[in-house]
Chains A and B, each alone.
Chain A
Amino acid sequence: MSTPPPPAHHSAPDDLRAAVREALASPATTATHASRSGLTSDLTIDETLILHSVEWVPRDLVIGLSVQSVPSAIWSWGSGEIELASRAHARAFEHAIARLHAEAVAVGAHGVVGVHVERRILASHIEVELIGTAVAPADASAAGGTKVFISDLPARDFALLLMAGWRPVALAVGASFTYAPRRAVGAALRQQTQNVELTNYTAALYTARSTAMERMQRAALDAHGTGIVDVTITEGPLHFAAHAIGFTAWGTVVAPAASSRTIDPLTVVSLDDAVSSFDVAPLA
């Protein structure tokens, strides 16, 4: 961009707080420079070209960020779902998506592609950062009226979807955190030497999983999509809390576009060097 931002004030913390508050109050105002000729985007040259080939152009790099605090005591004791955590997670995504959306609207974009989802779950807060490139059809009147979409698909996947007669609609997120049940000491001792399924743990995980998936599906239905592709699933223990399980899923909601087209794949053999290697675990 043409001019570097003014140096930040390091002197008084009051100024800093005011600056943060101001930035939070109007996240969209940072994007008003779209009227200028320059543009920022994190697309590679290939991606920009492929975007142009389907007659879309990048508008600007847009960001949505939200940090939600959670009481750190909630992670260790209890049973069933950790609702505070699930709710904070949902809210963090909701706010981040809303800010991303506002920035995209401000630059006159019709959608955001290649959204990187940076998420951190810590004992005291949940942090969500979304960065993507706002895009619009080259001919602004072409797709007028449709809602601004957000998608974590890279630009090439976006172009491929358009070519195949589909369109991205929204980013759907679902999460659920739950307490792992504790086993009775007696049962644990009895089962010490046995092969046995731990049904209460299995059931707890199933609940977390289904709840999270259901929330994601609900979001997709609300966005009037026909499906969710490229679902990213993160699941497993949380490193700071031994007795909490987290399950999150997010993906891009897609719907058929007005014009239906099909792809015609071609079988190709790449002549690049294929390197195959294997290693055997060393014996101590």
Chain B
Amino acid sequence: MTDTSKDLPEASERRLEEIEHGLFTSDLSVNEFLLVKEAGYHPLGLVMGSSIYHTGIQTRKWGESQELTKLTEAMYNARELAMTRMEEEASELGADGVVGVRLDVNYYEWGKDAAEFIAVGTAVKAEDGVSRRNTLGKPFTSDLSGQDFWTLLRTGYLPQGLVMGTCVYHIAHRGLGQTLATTGQNVELPNFTQALYEARELAMTRMQDEASQLGAAGVVGARLEEKTHQWGSHTIEFLALGTAVTRTTEEITLTSPVTIISLDH
């Protein structure tokens, strides 16, 4: 359908052709499936992108807090590759967007320093035939569940894209002198505090930059994950993820929600 498919492995194209014959696949639950249908979208197929990536080595200074740019770059690149491949699969299906995107990292025994980055989601298409692609003309991506997607559309917003920011940061060890000086005291450890602050800020800012590139009005469902992967305790990846959204032009009247007290435990 589009020429972007050149990058896709041959095997996946065959699978996608089959989907075009009318069968859809989706890892959406029944609730989500029905809500997506109710919102006026039809699921087209499960789309995936993955990349096995070897991360390089960067020396860290024992007593210095710093961003490890090479590792940050690796995390960015690998995720971008996975995400782009997923988007390409979605374009191939003629989708307007991808909902319920999950980003995962797998480690294999045989791949030392290598990790598999995966993006999986369900490609959807608007049933009224009006394109809902984002400002860049690509299918939108979103990590919102079917329920959240339905609610978001109800409130007059459209997802634009899954945005992320990452920062791999090395946090300085404390010197022996420092440790001894604070033994037995209540005291803030400013170097740790500062390092964590800076790393988080970097990740969040990068995510917001991605969102403004998409011309988004905001980012919903943003969350911050901290992972050490396989780098030992003082090197942490801060990953900020969220869905960038824009307002639709349609006039929306919000229905007031019904309050319930559930009797479950």
- A contact residues vs B (CB 8 Å cutoff): 153, 157, 160-161, 164, 180, 182, 191-198, 201-203, 205-207, 209-211, 213-214, 216-218, 220-221, 225-233, 235-237, 242-243, 245, 251, 262-263, 265-272, 280-284
Contact A157 B30 (CB under 8 A): yes
> Which B residue's beta carbon lies closest to that of A241?
B109
Q: How far is the CB of B173 from chain A (nearest CB, A)?
A: 9
Q: Which chain B residues border A242 with CB–CB below 8 Å?
A: 108-110
Contact between chains at A267 and B151 (CB < 8 Å): yes
**Secondary structure at chain B's binding surface: helix, strand, loop or mixed?**
mixed
B210 interface residue per 8 A CB criterion: no
Is A195 in contact with B154, judged by CB distance below 8 angstroms?
A: no
User: Is residue B247 within 8 Å, beta carbon to beta carbon, of the partner chain?
Assistant: no
Interface residues as binary, B7-28 with A (CB distance below 8 Å gives 1, 0 otherwise) = 0010110110011011111111
- Known contacts A210-B9, A226-B23, A267-B154; 18 additional CB pairs below 8 A are A157-B31, A160-B34, A164-B34, A195-B55, A196-B56, A201-B108, A214-B15, A217-B18, A218-B18, A221-B18, A226-B24, A227-B25, A230-B26, A230-B29, A237-B106, A237-B108, A242-B110, A284-B233
Cβ-based interface call for B204 (8 A): no
Selected contact of A265 from candidates B22, B38, B233, CB within 8 Å: B38
DSSP majority for the A interface?
Answer: mixed
User: Could you show 9 A-B contacts with beta carbons less than 8 Å apart?
Assistant: A193-B57, A206-B11, A217-B15, A217-B19, A220-B23, A227-B43, A242-B108, A263-B34, A268-B259
CB-based contact B110/A266 at 8 Å: no
Interface string of B137-163 (1 = CB under 8 A from A): 000000000000011001000000000
Give chain B residues whose Cβ lies under 8 Å from the Cβ of A232: 27
Q: Which 9 A-B pairs have the closest CB atoms?
A: A210-B11, A227-B24, A201-B52, A157-B30, A284-B233, A195-B74, A206-B9, A242-B109, A231-B27
Q: How far is the CB of B77 from chain A (nearest CB, A)?
A: 6
Known A202-B50, A227-B23: A267·B30 in contact at CB below 8 Å: no
Q: Are B111 and A198 in touch, CB under 8 angstroms?
A: yes
Chain B residue with the shortest CB-CB distance to A284: B233
Say yes or no for B83: interface residue by CB 8 A criterion: no
* Interface contact B26-A203, CB-CB below 8 Å: no
* Inter-chain contact A196/B53, CB cutoff 8 Å: yes
Asked if residues A269 and B260 are in contact (CB atoms below 8 Å), the reply is yes
Say yes or no: A210-B236 contact (C-beta < 8 A), given A160-B30, A217-B18, A283-B171.
Answer: no
Are B255 and A267 interface neighbours, CB within 8 A? yes
Contacts of B11 in A (CB 8 A): 206-207, 209-211
